[in-house]
Amino acid sequence: DNLCICFQYTFWNFVPKNLFEQFRRIANFYFLIIFLVQLIIDTPTSPVTSGLPLLFVITVTAIKQGYEDWLRHKADNAMNQCPVHFIQHGKLVRKQSRKLRVGDIVMVKEDETFPCDLIFLSSSRGDGTCFVTTASLDGESSHKTYYAVQDTKAFHNEQEIDALHATIECEQPQPDLYKFVGRINVYHDRNEPTARPLGSENLLLRGATLKNTEKIFGVAIYTGMETKMALNYQAKSQKRSAVEKSMNVFLIVYLCILISKALINTVLKYVWQSEPFRDEPWYNQKTEPERKRNLFLRAFTDFLAFMVLFNYIIPVSMYVTVEMQKFLGSYFLTWDEEMFDEDTGEGPLVNTSDLNEELGQIEYVFTDKTGTLTENNMEFVECCIEGHIYVPHVICNGQILHDCTGIDMIDSSPGGSGKEREELFFRALCLCHTVQVKDDDSVDGLKKNHLSRGSCIYISSSPDEVALVEGIQRLGYTYLRLKDNFMEILNRENNIEKFELLEVLSFDSVRRRMSVIVKSSTGDIFMFCKGADSSIFPRVKEGKIDQIRSRVERNAVEGLRTLCVAYKKLTAEEYSNAQKLLQNAKLALQDREKKLAEVYEKIERDFILLGATAVEDRLQEKAADTIEALQKAGIKVWVLTGDKMETAAATCYACKLFRRNTQILELTTKKIEEQSLHDVLFDLSKTVLRHSGSLTRDTFSGLSTDMQDYGLIIDGAALSLIMKPRQDGSSGNYRELFLEICRNCSAVLCCRMAPLQKAQIVKLIKLSKEHPITLAIGDGANDVSMILEAHVGIGIIGKEGRQAARNSDYAIPKFKHLKKMLLVHGHFYYVRISELVQYFFYKNVCFIFPQFLYQFFCGFSQQ
């Protein structure tokens, strides 16, 4: 079934299990023993003195944990009982999510989250596709297209779906989000079944959300704890802070002191008593049973009695006090005015107060990118046409204030030809994309204002494109829709221009560009191309390349994502040639990809450069400031993201994780394909180590000003290569080498990470030689495993749901709050807790040592 379990205790096993958990703590167990000893033998202090505090501690902790678990129960119930539509005997039935079984056919409506892993059978869209956002799984908020199984995509209503007779074979559940292998056998009227392969494009994952598709039907294949999302979770284990660990070490030292004290006293007692007039002077006789008792038994009970007498050297009250201090101290965090977010009306949340002081000792910060560092919406910032720079007047969160649609002309107003180019540029941006338009049904207040301008929601697999189209809309050109292969544009004069879309040379990450071929209403055929600067500039034969290039470089340095736009005019002849080539390539059965790439290569050349755009993935407020402060404080910041490398790198530049003088080392799949992993790693380590070698020399000679810092970029595939144990057992070598490189880099960016890989990285660092204290911060469900793995997990109370905040140790509204949290609160907490603990030990030594000395004056009688 589809039951999802996050809680630790049930009603029945709470008491025994909780007691067991608590007595696993050294201190609790110790006090229990002392208590039992006091009960059994005659001791100087009554059992109540240690029994009561122990009872208090245990009860308070149990109540606290019980309450926490109760909250978890509630959350689980909410999740398990949310209604799901599924199909039984041709009818739509609503049931609780937990009653879902493998093989049930589920209907999911738009904006609903998939309740379990589904094989996509059919959708309300005619072509058997649906759009899904996996933001809570891997942090990518863009829409992804999934495909229904060929044979079933025709079924559109409940009855048809119910008539389907098929079996699905699939692999055992495994955590990799991007891999799935299976097979569906569809039986048609007792014929031989038709078998279809199933891949990850057919698999809708639990936690993902259906977008832009009215409804879909799917069959559940993995449910409950077997879903890929659940497998990517890690069991929540109790986190202990380093102070607590060192406290435990101290306790052991003190235990040794205690035992040795008791031993010394016992021995001395019997030495002292060896003279009978001391053992039993006339005024102080023993009773008969006392006299008869076995010497060793007597010595042992004496030893235990001394233990009990001195047991206060291990402070029972310390645990209560420390816990109370932490608990009350954590309120300072929630009370902090500067950490209160006005927009959301939320302050920080403290889920575990056990880790307060860890905040002051963080050495590594692992942060998610999307939603954590960035606001997760793209913003069109500026464009540069022929060297003239245009800035949309108002920068606001994707919302256009309709009265500010003007643009600033920074340079002198362009001449007649410039005007022409400018319009061409805007048209190019309007046309050269794969954006889909969704009519805005749910009009909210803000959007109503500019309904007149044709308000609509753009949806695309790339948020950049949306940002660009929206930006252009602000500059006066609105892309209306794609209708019967005609793209409609509303231009500045409110006229609708129509372009016939002839070809789309779609984007891929190798070419890093895309093109469209359109035919205008006047019959001219244009080819517009948009892509990364590096892939456009070599293909340009005219245009103001130098000016644009300098602008593009400037923008890139500022962390903006730049795209260049170019065009060429095709004659009908050229177009038919190109079309023929394309057609051939598309029909090729073998090496289609390769052939297409060749054709693209041939067609996309001799462009005329129009301009460049700059899009900003808006950073969270003060993100750069925070990262800078953290780095100055000696904390290493790593960015772990599921995003593309280019995007991630741009963000890193923007938030000053990488600086202008940072030398970037790349450890990516592409590079590993060129060289072997071995060589790459060794090359990198050589660079880094040479640098660090020279660094030490530099610091000696006081010339550390020109010191260079390194940034490392690694992607998921490369990481898994490094982590993969090899047959010859040299994997440890790789890991260590990798760690060595990482340690010498001031910043590391890991992209294309699966949630579990994020946790792996954290674990790798956590278990490295120095045992640094790590902190993970993220906002989405994809960060949960990393948050759980790190010493301290921080969740951002963000848009992508509260999963991260719920599983974290602390939750804060914004990334910028991390600065004060670590540098002020963490520091305070650490100083305070250390002083408290040290004072406790000092106090107890002061308290017990006179006791010890007094034994010399009272005949070692445990008085």
Q: How far is the CB of 276 from another protein (least distance, A)?
A: 10
How are beta strands 636-640 and 364-368 bridged, if at all? parallel
Cβ distance to another protein smaller for residue 280 or 420: 280
Binding mask 373-402 for another protein (x = CB under 8 A): ---------x------x-x---x-------
Q: How far apart are CA 297 and CA 303, in angstroms?
A: 10
Element (H, E) at 695: helix 677-701
Give the range of 206-214, 237-245, 285-293, 661-669 binding another protein by CB under 8 A. 285-293
Closest approach, Cβ 284 to another protein, in A, equals: 5
Q: Backbone phi, then psi, for 751, in 5-degree steps?
A: -120, 170
Q: Please, which residue, 846 or 858, has the CB nearer to another protein?
A: 858
Tell whether residue 859 is a contact of another protein (CB under 8 A): yes
281 binds another protein (CB under 8 A): yes
For residue 2, count CB atoms less than 10 angstroms from its CB and return exposed for 0-12, middle for 13-18, buried for 19 or more.
Answer: buried
The window from 442-450, 693-701, 753-761, 824-832 that contacts another protein (CB under 8 A) reads 824-832
Q: Number of residues interacting with another protein: please give it, by CB under 8 A.
A: 53
Catalytic residue, candidates 354, 368, 464, 617: 368
Of 473, 472, 479, 507, nearest to 385 (Cα)?
472
Region binding another protein by CB under 8 A among candidate stretches 68-76, 160-168, 509-517, 855-863: 855-863
Beta carbons within 8 Å of 54's beta carbon, 6+ residues apart: 28, 31, 32, 35, 316
Token look-up 């609780």 returns 96
Residue 27 CA to residue 54 CA, distance in Å, equals: 10
User: Is residue 340 involved in binding another protein (CB under 8 A)?
Assistant: yes
Q: Does 298 bind another protein (CB under 8 A)?
A: no
Give the residue from 841, 851, 846 showing the smallest Cα distance to 310: 851
Residue 862 in contact with another protein, rule: CB under 8 A: yes
The bridge status of strand 810-812 relative to strand 792-796 is: parallel
45 is in an annotated binding site: no
d(CA 94, CA 201): 27
- Segment 698 to 727, residues that bind another protein, using CB under 8 A: none
Q: Tell me how far, at minimum, the Cβ of 612 lies from another protein, in Å.
A: 14
Region of 62-70, 107-115, 229-237, 336-344 interacting with another protein (CB under 8 A): 336-344
Residue written as token pair 């990334």: 815
**Residue 471 and residue 380 in contact, taking contact as beta carbons nearer than 8 Å:** yes
752 among annotated binding-site residues: yes
- Measured on CA atoms in the order 89, 94, 95, 97, is the torsion positive or negative? positive
Q: What are phi and psi of 103, to 5 degrees?
A: 95, -10
Residue 333 near residue 827 (C-beta atoms within 8 A): no
**CA-closest candidate to residue 3, choices 94, 84, 85, 97:** 97
Which of 193-201, 345-353, 508-516, 758-766 is the region at the interface with another protein (rule: CB under 8 A)?
345-353
Q: In whole angstroms, how close is the CB of 335 to another protein at the nearest point?
A: 4
Contact 128, 217 (CB under 8 A): no
**What residues from 543 to 562 belong to the interface with another protein (CB under 8 A)?**
558
The region of 8-16, 273-281, 564-572, 748-756 touching another protein under the rule CB under 8 A is 273-281
Comparing CB distances to another protein, the nearer of 105 and 308 is: 308
Q: How many CB atoms sit inside 10 A of residue 66's CB?
A: 16
CB-nearer residue toward another protein: 302 or 783: 302
| Closer residue to another protein in complex, CB, 151/375 | 375
CA–CA separation, 283 and 737 (whole Å):
77
Determine if 828 is a binding residue for another protein (CB under 8 A).
yes
CA–chain centroid gap for 211, Å, is 22
Q: Does 286 bind another protein (CB under 8 A)?
A: yes
Contact in structure between 114 and 781 (CB atoms under 8 Å): no
Q: Which stretch binds another protein (CB under 8 A): 173-181, 193-201, 318-326, 817-825?
A: 817-825
Measured from the CB of residue 825, what is the shortest distance to another protein in angstroms? 9
Question: What does the per-residue mask of binding to another protein show for 86-105, with x meaning CB under 8 A?
Answer: --------------------
660 assigned to a ligand binding site: no
Distance from C-alpha of 782 to C-alpha of 135, rounded to nearest angstrom: 8
Cα separation of 730 and 263, whole Å? 50
- Residue spans of alpha helices (H) in 542-644: 545-557, 572-587, 592-603, 623-632
Which two structure tokens, joined as six digits, stand for 373?
A: 């560092």
Q: Does 539 bind another protein (CB under 8 A)?
A: no
CB 640 within 8 A of CB 786: yes
282 touches another protein (CB under 8 A):
yes
> What is the nearest approach in angstroms of another protein to the Cβ of residue 307?
15
Residue 618 as a binder of another protein (CB under 8 A): the answer is yes
Cβ distance 759 to 787 under 8 Å?
no
Residues 757-796: x/- map of binding to another protein (CB under 8 A)?
A: ----------------------------------------
| Pair of tokens at residue 626 | 């925070």
The reply to whether 151 belongs to the active site is no
Q: Which is nearer to another protein, 287 or 590 (CB)?
A: 287
Query: Does residue 858 interact with another protein by CB under 8 A?
Result: yes
Contact indicator for 4, 79 with CB cutoff of 8 Å: yes
Cα(710)–Cα(688) distance, integer angstroms: 8
**Contact present, 117 and 200 (Cβ < 8 Å):** no
850 touches another protein by CB under 8 A: no
836 binds another protein (CB under 8 A): no
> Any contact of residue 633 with another protein (CB under 8 A)?
yes
Residue 288 Cβ, how far from another protein at the closest point, in Å?
7
Contact call for residues 207 and 781 (beta carbons, < 8 A): yes
Binding residue ranges for ATP: 368-370, 465, 507, 530, 561, 641-643, 752, 758, 782-783
Q: Which residues are annotated as a binding site for Mg(2+)?
A: 368, 370, 779, 783
Catalytic residues: 368
Instruction: Report the interface residues with another protein, using CB under 8 A.
Output: 44, 277-278, 281-288, 331-332, 334-338, 340, 342, 345-347, 382, 389, 391, 395, 408, 410, 558, 616, 618-619, 621-622, 624-625, 628-629, 632-633, 816, 820, 823-824, 827-828, 857-859, 861-863
Binding site: which residues?
A: 368-370, 465, 507, 530, 561, 641-643, 752, 758, 779, 782-783
